[in-house]
C-alpha cells in the first residue's frame, strides 16, 4: 500500500498559482509529502525571478519551471542553459517555436544537467477547435495539430510533451512510451472547470496514459489542501 502511495505522489504536480513567497513556502512545507513536483509559472517567476526556484529547492523537493519559452533559437538556447543551472527538474518550451529551437534548447540544457526533463507544450488547454481555426488560422483539427507538434517534440529529442487529457490516448497510440505525457487542466470530481476547455479527472487522465497530472486551484482554494491532495492521490490510485 505504501508503494502505491509513493507512485501516486510522484504523478501529482501542484501548480503554485499564488502571489507571495510566504504562500509558496507554506504550501511546500504542508504538501511535500503528498505532491511529487511543484510547478512555478509566469505569475511567480515574474514577481520573484530565479529566487523563488531557489527557495523551493531548499525544501528538497522537485521543481517544474513552466517557462513556455518561445523565441528565436539562440535566445531560447541561452535561456535553457540558465534554467538548467538553476537546478530545476523539468521545464517547458513551445513546440510551435520549431525544430531548430527545440534541438538547440534541449542540447544546451542537457549539457548543463543531463538529468533535466525538457518538455514541449503542444496546444494550451484553454484552446478549442474553433479558436484554432477562426483565430489562429490553423487548418488541421485540434487533435491532428497536437500530434503534429508532439512529433516535432520527439524529432527534436524532447523528453515529453504537455497536452490536454483528451489527447492522451491519441498520443499513446502514435508514440507509445517514447514521450512523457504531462497533463494540465485536470480537475478532481466535483471541481469547477474554470477557463479550461478540455478537462478530465485525475483518475481518468492516469487511466488513459498520463504520466503526470497538473492541478492548481482545486488544491490551492481548498479549505484543507492536505485533505484535498490526499483525495486526489486516492483518485489516482483507484
Query: In this predicted model, what pLDDT tens digit does every residue of 24-76 receive, in sequence order?
Result: 999 999 999 999 999 999 999 999 999 999 999 999 999 999 999 999 999 99
Cβ atoms of 120 and 156 closer than 8 Å: yes
Q: Write the CB contacts of 133 (distance below 8 Å, at least 6 apart in sequence).
A: 139
* Catalytic site includes residue 68: yes
Q: What is the CATH number of the domain that holds 117?
A: 3.20.20.70
CA dihedral 238, 12, 192, 205 (to 10 degrees): -50
- With a threshold of 0.85, does the pTM exceed it? yes
CA 188 to chain centre: 17
Nearest to 146 by CA among 95, 198, 106, 93: 95
Question: Which is catalytic among the residues 68, 78, 207, 230?
Answer: 68
What is the tally of structural domains in the chain? 1
pLDDT class of 2 with cuts at 50, 70, 90: very low
- Helix, strand or coil, per DSSP, at residue 78: helix
pLDDT more than 90, % of the chain: 79
Amino acid at each position: 500500500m505504501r508503494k502505491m502511495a509513493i507512485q501516486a505522489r510522484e504523478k501529482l504536480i501542484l501548480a503554485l498559482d499564488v502571489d507571495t513567497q510566504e504562500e509558496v513556502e507554506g504550501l511546500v512545507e504542508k504538501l511535500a509529502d503528498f505532491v511529487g513536483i511543484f510547478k512555478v509559472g509566469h505569475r511567480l517567476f515574474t514577481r520573484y525571478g530565479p529566487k523563488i526556484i531557489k527557495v523551493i529547492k531548499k525544501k528538497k523537493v522537485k521543481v517544474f519551471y513552466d517557462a513556455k519559452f518561445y523565441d528565436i533559437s539562440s535566445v531560447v538556447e541561452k535561456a535553457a542553459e540558465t534554467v538548467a543551472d538553476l537546478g530545476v527538474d523539468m521545464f517547458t518550451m513551445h513546440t510551435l517555436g520549431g525544430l531548430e529551437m527545440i534541438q538547440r534548447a534541449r542540447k544546451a540544457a542537457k549539457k548543463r544537467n543531463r538529468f533535466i526533463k525538457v518538455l514541449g507544450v503542444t496546444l494550451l488547454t484553454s484552446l478549442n477547435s474553433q479558436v484554432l481555426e477562426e483565430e489562429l488560422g490553423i487548418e488541421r483539427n485540434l487533435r491532428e495539430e497536437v500530434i503534429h507538434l508532439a512529433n516535432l517534440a520527439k524529432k527534436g529529442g524532447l523528453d515529453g510533451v504537455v497536452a490536454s487529457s483528451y489527447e492522451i490516448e491519441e498520443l499513446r497510440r502514435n508514440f507509445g512510451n517514447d514521450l512523457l505525457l504531462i497533463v494540465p487542466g485536470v480537475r478532481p470530481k466535483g471541481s469547477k472547470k474554470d477557463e479550461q476547455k478540455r478537462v478530465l479527472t485525475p483518475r481518468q487522465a492516469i487511466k488513459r496514459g498520463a504520466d503526470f497530472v497538473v492541478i492548481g486551484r482545486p488544491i490551492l482554494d481548498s479549505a484543507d489542501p492536505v485533505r484535498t491532495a490526499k483525495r486526489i492521490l486516492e483518485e489516482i490510485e483507484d
